Structure 1
Amino acid sequence: MSKLSLSPKPKQRTFWTLFLLFCLLSLAGIYVSLTNGTFDLSPKDVLRTLLRIHPVEDYDLVIFDFRLPRIVLGALVGFGLGIAGAVLQGISRNSLADPGILGIHAAAGAFVVLFMFLTAGTMKAPAWLSVMSMPMFGFIGGLVAVVMLFTFARQHGEFHPQQLILVGIALASGFGAVTLYVSLKMDAQNFEAATVWLAGSVYNANWRQVLSTLPWLVILTPVIWRRAAVLDLMQLHEVSVKGIGVAVGRERQILLLCCVGLVSACVSVSGSIGFVGLIAPHIARRLIGNTYRYIVPLCGVIGMLMVIIADFIGKTVFAPAELPVGIVVSIIGVPYFIFLLFKTRVR
């Protein structure tokens, strides 16, 4: 019992070392993204602009209107997707699970595209309501995907990891078809905007999008982290977990709702950025082990770093053209997924 309840100090020190390391790497990525681009800025210019020391209008425009919202939004999206991926892998006891593979991305994206089609950018509502509308539509779509997963991926009241993946792939294909159909009904301008958004892009990021994403992360992340011990127990057989008094069904539903909220908020502002929720938990487990108290926050900062770096690569390496961050992540994620699939089959 003492081995389960006591966390060894060396592991805790390792966690904090890794957490601070990834935070520092993310800050380094933010610094590089702020200073480099089509219009290069010196560190001195950036610092003066941020601290409001003799501000220059051109520098204000580049940093506060273009680069900083994009970087902050990318960091929030990466943080949310990394945590959601860790939780989904814990719930399903399947190392291949992530929001994209389980169809949650596609469902949230389909409902957001439907929202874009119905409003066509002409929604008349109070400012706070218009900011939160797209995440709410995405949340509804994610809930639909979760209900369908619950319905089709259970046998005799238990989840089967293999079946969960198969159902998720089918849902992703189905909602992807719905998204394509709705987007083809749009006019040319909205279709182009939807296509860029679906590729997974933070190109048009603004502070309103940051505002719409932040509350979901601030509220739901602590709820997930407080249930880290439950996620540890869920790695046992479901009958064993029920035997020690854990309400597995209730806890799974709470965690799934939290995941849907995080994914929906991220998808509504950045489109479908896949594989972050798949890769970040694998890196975290290799570095710190299988304790979710450490995995959850570590996945957040790893996902944050991944999106910041991928966005920087997309906007600089292929300049003057820009490659959406979702495509850059997929270039890395697809081979990694195939490797994991092959590794799982070998076992």
Structure 2
Amino acid sequence: MPKKLAVIYTVLIVLILAVCYASITMGAFSIDDPSELFSTLFQINPNEQYSILLFDLRLPRIVTAGLVGLGLGIAGAVIQAVTRNGLADPGILGINAGAGAAIVGYMLIFQGQTETANLLAAMGMPFFGLIGGLLAAAFIFMFAWHGGNLDSGRIILVGIAINSGFSAVSLYLSLKMNPNDYEMAMVWKNGSIGSANWAYIQAALPWFLLLIPFLLAKSRLLDTIRFHEDTVKSLGVSSNLEKAVLLIACVGIISACVSISGSMSFVGLIAPHISRRLAGVLHRYSLPLSGLIGMFLVLCADFAGKLLFQPSEVPAGILLAIFGVPYFLYLLFKQKKAVQ
């Protein structure tokens, strides 16, 4: 790894650790004594009050935000490579909305269940999300396919339509819920990590452990797919098959993210762009960096939403959208100007 990249990775990891420490120690109840914090964290003469605060509330939230950011950052970079469209993002393309609609339906089935049933429901949520995400991806292939290839110009338009359609389905299903579950579903749909717990993390973790290494191992293939379709085929790569496999893996990661945090738009758009600016176009460097940048973005958004608006709380997804929409418009204007 080049020295410049090693410095970038080191700085980013330090920033992530700093945000994690701030998120652990700051909030409605602050932890002012670092020695007592670490003794509780490593279970050396732990403080009982700190133990509840750390292990039941703040650590699950930090782990969830980190996993979601990592997954969306990597999935967004892969989707942009597969579609050859720098504006592609799981939220914009409707994959988030497809996974979310399926999971809202699953939440409707399990509403009002006991704690044991809720644990079982948590284990099934990523599977339902995968079905919804794959359905959204199938619509993308169906309507954006032109001349034997994905038409990058149609992808965004098709994605916007799919996003709107599945969002309407989610709203219809959520209206069938009782008031308490409806309120929870609405907060979750906006991208909230406030209800994070270890059961949801355990349900989603296998998906991350299986699919993220798979995508990282495909970094050289992603470098090849960037070229023109004729060039890719001349290299002996089965382009359409490889794209389908990569997209299914991305949908699996996105579904796992949506199942534990709701819809977090624009992470998969912003993180890959920043990563390519810092690390270049080679995916063996930019792909893991995109995941770390995504992790940092979601951690910062969740921390800001929790701390800056006390005693209320703003979901991380809303804060990400506030910054993501102007960035998307900037990229759209920049791409339009480049075409002209």
Hey, what does 1:32 align to over in structure 2? Answer: 22
1:50-98 alpha-carbon deviations (Å, 9 max, x no partner): 1212212111111110001000110000000000100000000000001
The alpha-carbon deviation at position 251 of structure 1 amounts to 0.9
> How many angstroms does 1:121 deviate by?
4.2
What is the rounded CA distance, in whole Å, between the counterparts of 1:125 and 1:34 in structure 2? Answer: 28
Task: Quote the residue 1:89 is aligned against.
Answer: 80
8 Å contact from structure 1 (residues 34, 46) kept in 2:
no
Letter paired with 1:171 = I
Instruction: Tell whether the 8 Å contact from 1:105 to 1:142 is kept in structure 2 after alignment.
Output: yes
Q: CA deviation at 1:127?
A: 8.4
Query: 2:31 aligned to 25, 41, 46, which one?
Result: 41
Compute the RMSD of aligned alpha carbons. 1.5
Structure 1 stretches of at least 4 aligned residues deviating more than 3 Å after TM superposition: 123-131
TM-score, normalization by structure 1: 0.94
Distance in 2 (CA, whole Å) between partners of 1:241 and 1:192 is 48
User: Superposition pairs for residues 318-333 of structure 1, below 5 Å?
Assistant: 318-333=309-324
Partner of 2:246: 255
**Is 1:339 the equivalent of 2:338?**
no
1:38 is paired with a residue whose SS is coil
What is the Cα deviation at residue 249 of structure 1?
A: 1.3
Sequence identity of aligned pairs in percent? Answer: 49
1:57 aligns with one of 48, 54, 74: 48
Question: Using a 3 Å threshold, how does the CA distance of structure 1 residues 273 and 92 change in structure 2: closer, same or farther?
Answer: same
Contact 2:65–2:298 (CA<8 Å) still a contact in 1?
Answer: yes
Supply the distance in 2 between the matched residues of 1:77 and 1:250 (Cα, whole angstroms): 27
Match of 1:179 among 167, 170, 187: 170
Return the alpha-carbon distance in structure 2 between the equivalents of residues 126 and 252 of structure 1. 37
CA distance in 2, matches of 1:129, 1:257: 24
Residue in 2 aligned with 1:22? 12
Letter of the 1:235 counterpart: R
In 2, Cα distance between equivalents of 1:110 and 1:332: 24
- Equivalences for residues 1-347 of structure 1 within 5 A: 12-42=2-32, 43-122=34-113, 129-347=120-338
Q: Given the two structures, how large is their TM-score scaled by the length of structure 2?
A: 0.96
- The separation in 1 between residues aligned to 2:329 and 2:114, in whole angstroms, is 42
Is 1:123–1:130's contact at 8 Å kept on the other side of the alignment? no
Question: 1:242: how far off?
Answer: 0.6
Alpha carbons of structure 1 residues 124 and 192: separation in structure 2 relative to 1, 3 Å? closer
Paired residue for 1:6?
A: none
Q: What is the CA–CA distance in structure 2 between the aligned matches of 1:126 and 1:322, rounded to whole Å?
A: 28
Query: Which sits farther off after the overlay, 49-58 or 291-300?
Result: 49-58
1:322 counterpart SS class: coil
Cα deviations by residue, 1:34-63 (Å, 9 ceiling, x for unpaired): 010000002222111112122121111111
Task: State whether residues 138 and 264 of structure 1, in contact with CA within 8 Å, keep that contact through their aligned partners in structure 2.
Answer: yes
Following TM superposition, by how much is the alpha carbon of 1:24 offset from its aligned partner in structure 2, in angstroms? Answer: 1.3
* Cα distance, 1:19 vs structure 2: 1.9
Which stretch shifts more, 40-49 or 58-67? 40-49
Task: Give the letter for the 1:86 counterpart.
Answer: A
Structure 2 unpaired stretches of 5+? none
Unaligned 5+ runs, structure 1: 1-8
- Cα shift at 1:233: 1.0
Q: Deviations over 1:255-292 (max 9, x none)?
A: 10110010000001100011000000000011011001
Point out the more displaced range, 251-260 or 18-27. 18-27
Q: Residue 3 of structure 1 aligns with which residue?
A: none
